[in-house]
Chain A
Amino acid sequence: MSGAATDTGAAPDTEASRSTGTWPDDAAPAPLAPRARLLPALGAVYRAQLSRARVARIPLLFVATFQSVGIMIMMRGVVHDGTEARSVVSGASVLVVAFVALNLLAQYFGRLRADGGLDHYATLPVPPAAVVLGAAAAYASFTVPGTLATALIGGVLFHLPMAHLWVLAAVIPVSGAALSGLGAALGLLAPRQEIATLCGQLGMSAALLLGVLPPGGLPTAIGYARDLLPSTYGVEALTRSYAARPDWLMIGADLGVCAAVGVLSLTVATWAYRRAAGR
């Protein structure tokens, strides 16, 4: 039986499509198994990704934290006034997020795509958003201990007030969303694995230079580049929170920008996943 599929344009899953005569032997198509729903699937991916940290990621998390602490110790000799010190500590803290969420996630998705690992997810009835968001959320979670440690060590090193450090509870998720979305999109869109790695590294370097260096002395062009980088707004929000009387409106605005970029970059990443999985 070699039935040339004669489409009648019938809607899927309806009685009409079953009686088109395309499959004379298959009067009733087999029932389809249910799809995985978004939230449970997201939770399962998140949990699986977190468990990977135990195996593979912990050394890298230490590296991320040491890098940031090292930069703060270096900058201690250069930075004099309190405003600059705030920028340095905020920049170094958010750098941990950039290292893990942007750089490592870009590498992870780049490798998954290159090795055919995406096939595993692509042959399961799972919404693309669940895979991307679950992985992004897990990588953002990996950054929590390092970011917290960096902010605390920085506060001690530079004698900053730490009363409003709870702002990190908002800074980490929103900058984590923005940067991991960017990382995932880079990893999934890069035509080759090496390019994904390169993009992740460059993104992290940009976050390092533009985030840690105090903005005052930067050339105009670099200043614009700084405004374009989503992590900048996380850095700014954290910097402002060190003030004796923080400007909550501006902090809210910064976090809002970060969150908006997060939504956008995660949407792009989900689209990129669809594209990569459905070659």
Chain B
Amino acid sequence: MVRDLVKTYPAVRGRRGADRAPAVRASDGISLDVGRGEIFGLLGPNGAGKSTLVRQLTGLLRPDSGTISVLGHDLVRHPARAARLLGYLGQESTALDEMTVALAVETTGRLRGLDVRRARAERDAVIGELGLADLAARPLKKLSGGQRRLACFATVLIGERPLLVLDEPTTGMDPVARRAVWAAVDRRRAERGATVLLVTHNVLEAESVLDRVAVIDQGRVIACDTPGGLKERVAEEVRLELVWRDRPPLDVAEVAALHPAAQVSGRRWTLRLPADQARAAVSAVTRGPAFAALDDFTFATPSLEDVYLSLGGRAAGLVKG
């Protein structure tokens, strides 16, 4: 019956930010609409306000102002309803660390209101689905970071919820575990129309799995579109990376001209240039003294990271790959 899942936060200020000495507007007037059945991403570096936003959505934090509506329920007025609408994967697993994987999943199912038989049946199904059977009898504490993360993800899936809120779900996971996570997410969307809100600072992941992405920086949404749509905004630009052997040959006029526009990270220069200028730059640095000083260069179409940077975000903290 419900067509759209709407979350709107005009002028929200995270309370957690307000507690600290210099008040931080962790959510500074964020408005987002997420459609039902969408895999929607929040992308941004550490400290951008993604987790604060998610904590308000899950009823863990109360916004100072603004409205949050999930599947037709007002969660600012009724924060307790969040637990009955959504499954949340936070960043911590302390509450589960000393339990075995099987018991952690089963207990979470029981606490989502399942009876014993249902909880056990769903536990076995979820553990099988995620390939955790070999680890089921081991305490979470004894698992590697990625395995523990996968076990925590299993606790989110038990006791089906129409909305899954996942805060950096694949941190530390190997590719097999990542695939298991995305397959499980896709299955829930295809079969049950589940909506997924995903927090990530991983650009590649955002590009490959998300339907739409909101780029968050300093508590504000600086862009919101499909990954392809966002990339189109910077389509005329290409990214040129130059790595110098020792130090850049600033005595070459063309290189000196590029310097102000470059983002310098050690011996590496990253430039975002219109295609024709980039071509000219490449031909300049692949000749004569500049070429002698050049170690490597790459030429690439824009990624979400470029979008993020061209929108004025701060680069620090954004993970690639």
Q: With an 8 A cutoff between CB atoms, is B115 at the interface?
A: yes
Task: Determine the residue in chain B with the shortest Cβ distance to A36.
Answer: B113
Q: With an 8 A cutoff between CB atoms, is A48 at the interface?
A: yes
Partner of A52, one of B4, B72, B99, B112: B99
Enumerate chain A residues within 8 angstroms of B10, measured Cβ to Cβ.
2, 4
A44 to B94: give the CA distance in the assembly, Å. Answer: 17
Enumerate chain B residues within 8 angstroms of A279, measured Cβ to Cβ.
15-16, 60-61
Q: Interface with A: B84-92, B128-136, B273-281, which one?
A: B84-92
Q: Interface with A: B73-81, B201-209, B230-238, B242-250, which one?
A: B73-81
Q: Do B59 and A22 touch across chains, with their CB atoms under 8 A apart?
A: no
Enumerate chain B residues within 8 angstroms of A121, measured Cβ to Cβ.
95, 111
| Chain B interface extent, by class | 35 or more
Partner of A29, one of B73, B79, B87, B104: B73
Given known A55-B141, A122-B60, contact A40–B115 (CB-CB < 8 A): yes
Q: With an 8 A cutoff between CB atoms, is B200 at the interface?
A: no
Enumerate chain A residues within 8 angstroms of B71, measured Cβ to Cβ.
26, 29-30
Enumerate chain B residues within 8 angstroms of A36, measured Cβ to Cβ.
110-113
Task: Determine the residue in chain A with the shortest Cβ distance to B109.
Answer: A44
Q: Do B111 and A44 touch across chains, with their CB atoms under 8 A apart?
A: yes
Enumerate chain B residues within 8 angstroms of A116, measured Cβ to Cβ.
90-92, 94
Q: Interface with B: A96-104, A123-131, A225-233, which one?
A: A123-131
Number of A residues with CB within 8 Å of any CB on chain B? 50
Interface residues of A (CB under 8 A from B): 1-5, 7, 12, 18, 22-23, 25-30, 32-37, 40-41, 43-45, 47-48, 51-52, 55-56, 111-112, 115-126, 130, 278-279
Interface residues of B (CB under 8 A from A): 1-4, 6, 8, 10, 15-16, 31, 33, 55, 58-62, 67, 69, 71-74, 76-88, 90-96, 98-100, 103-104, 106-108, 110-113, 115-116, 139, 141, 155, 159, 161-162
Can you list 9 A-B pairs, Cβ within 8 angstroms, ordered by A?
A25-B2, A25-B3, A26-B6, A26-B71, A44-B106, A119-B55, A120-B90, A125-B80, A125-B84
